[in-house]
Homo-oligomer: A and B are copies of this chain.
Amino acid sequence: MHDIAAREHSTMRSLERALHLLTIMENVGWPMTVTEIGRDSQLSKATALRLLSVLEKYGLAEKRQGRYRLGIAVLPLAHSYVLRNELGQTALPVMQELAQASGETVSLFVRLGFQRVSIQRVEGDHPLQHTSPSIGQRLPLHLGLGKVLAAAMPEEELQKMLTPLDEVYFANGTRWTRKAFLADLNRIRRQGYCISRNERVMGATSLAAPIVDRDGATIAGIGIVSSTERMTPKKLERFSIEIRGAAKVIAGRYCGD
Contact residues of A with B, CB < 8 Å?
A: 2, 11-12, 14-16, 18-19, 22-23, 25-27, 29-30, 50-51, 54-55, 57-60, 69-84, 110, 112-113, 117-119, 134-138
Contact status of A70 and B77, CB under 8 A, knowing A12-B50, A51-B15: yes
Can you tell how many copies of this chain the complex includes? 2
User: In the assembly, what is the distance between CA of A70 and CA of B77, in Å?
Assistant: 8
Evaluate contact between A136 and B84: CB separation under 8 angstroms.
no
26 A-B pairs with C-beta separation under 8 A? A2-B57, A11-B54, A12-B54, A14-B15, A16-B54, A18-B18, A19-B58, A23-B58, A25-B80, A26-B76, A29-B80, A29-B84, A70-B77, A70-B80, A70-B81, A72-B112, A74-B74, A74-B78, A74-B81, A75-B78, A75-B81, A75-B117, A76-B138, A77-B136, A78-B136, A79-B135
* Chain B residues within an 8 Å CB radius of A113: 59
Looking at A14, A16, A72, the one whose CB has the most chain B CB atoms below 10 A away is A72
User: In the assembly, what is the distance between CA of A113 and CA of B59, in Å?
Assistant: 8
Add 5 more A-B contacts to A14-B15, A69-B81 (CB < 8 A): A29-B84, A72-B110, A72-B117, A75-B81, A77-B136
* Chain B residues within an 8 Å CB radius of A73: 112
Contact status of A137 and B76, CB under 8 A, knowing A29-B83, A81-B70, A113-B59: yes
Q: Top 4 A-B pairs ranked by shortest CB distance?
A: A79-B136, A78-B78, A75-B136, A74-B77
Evaluate contact between B72 and A119: CB separation under 8 angstroms.
yes
Evaluate contact between B12 and A119: CB separation under 8 angstroms.
no
Task: Determine the residue in chain B with the shortest Cβ distance to A71.
Answer: B81
Least CB distance from A217 to B in Å reads 12
Out of B19, B23, B70, B81, name the residue touching A84 (CB < 8 Å): B70
Evaluate contact between A77 and B135: CB separation under 8 angstroms.
no
Evaluate contact between A84 and B30: CB separation under 8 angstroms.
yes
Out of B11, B112, B134, name the residue touching A50 (CB < 8 Å): B11
User: In the assembly, what is the distance between CA of A71 and CA of B119, in Å?
Assistant: 11
* Chain B residues within an 8 Å CB radius of A75: 78, 81-82, 117-119, 135-136
Least CB distance from A256 to B in Å reads 14
